[in-house]
């Protein structure tokens, strides 16, 4: 789980996606093949080579308005093409903290 912030080179050793945080609220998002963002990992575009990853990342970074802090994250492809997070960091980002929280959503005034 070395922070992606510390990764200098793009090295693809397994299927990967581009992920970021949505600008207006910080929600976790994934870059789709249609050059949009989705909060669903299963809708993410999967890349398998460094060139593909670089292109997808560049496409993502160009959307400076919609997303912040884009980077390449590993995934695992399961049965039926289901995409799962490829490490603990991405699991936490996709499914939430591993500890109990008092509430799950903000209580509107």
Partner 1 sequence: MYAYDEIDRTLINERVTEFRDQVKRRLSGELTEDEFKMLRLQNGVYLQLHAYMFRIAIPYGTLSSNQLRRLAHVARRYDRGYGHFTTRQNIQFNWIKLAELPDALADLAEVGIHSMQTSGNNTRNVTSDQWAGVVPGEIEDPRIWSEILRQYTTLHPEFSFLPRKFKFAITASAHDRAAIKIHDIGLRLYKNEAGETGFEVLVGGGLGRTPFIAKTIRPFVHGRDLLSYVEAIMRVYNKYGRRDNIYKARIKILVHELGVEKFGHEVEEEWQQIRDGSLRLDDDTIEEIRSRFSYPTYEKLPHMPDELRKAAHDALFERWRRNSVFPHKATGYSIVTISLKPVGGPPGDATADQMDALADLADKYSFGEIRVGHEQNLALPHVARRDLPALWTALDAIGLATPNVNLVSDIIACPGLDYCSLANARSIPIAQELTRRFANHDTANLIGRLHINISGCINACGHHHVGHIGILGVEKNGEEFYQITIGGRADEKAELGVLIGPAVPYNEVADVIEDIVEAYLALRATPDELFVDTVKRLGVEPFRERVYATR
Q: Is position 8 an interface residue for partner 1 (rule: CB under 8 A)?
A: no
Interface with partner 1 in residues 68-87 (CB under 8 A): 68-69, 87
13 binds partner 1 (CB under 8 A): no
Q: Which two tokens stand for residue 85?
A: 């997070």
Q: What whole-number distance in Å separates Cα of residue 69 and Cα of residue 5?
A: 9
Neighbours of 19 (CB within 10 A): 25
User: Does 108 interact with partner 1 (rule: CB under 8 A)?
Assistant: yes
* Binder among 12, 15, 21, 43 for partner 1 (CB under 8 A): 21
SS3 20: strand
Task: Compute φ and ψ for 86, nearest 5 degrees.
Answer: -95, -5
Chain residues that interact with partner 1, rule: CB under 8 A: 1-5, 21, 23-28, 64-65, 68-69, 87-89, 92-93, 96-99, 101-109
């Amino acid at each position: 789980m070395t922070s992606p912030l510390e990764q200098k080179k793009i090295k693809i050793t397994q299927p990967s996606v581009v992920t970021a945080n949505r600008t207006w609220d910080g929600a976790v998002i994934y870059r789709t093949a249609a050059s949009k963002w989705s909060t669903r990992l299963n809708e993410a575009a999967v890349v398998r080579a460094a060139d593909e990853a670089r292109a997808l990342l560049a496409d993502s970074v160009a959307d400076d308005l919609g997303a912040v802090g884009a980077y390449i994250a590993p995934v695992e492809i399961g049965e039926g093409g289901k995409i799962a997070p490829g490490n603990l960091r991405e699991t936490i980002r996709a499914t939430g903290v591993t500890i109990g929280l008092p509430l799950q959503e903000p209580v509107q005034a």
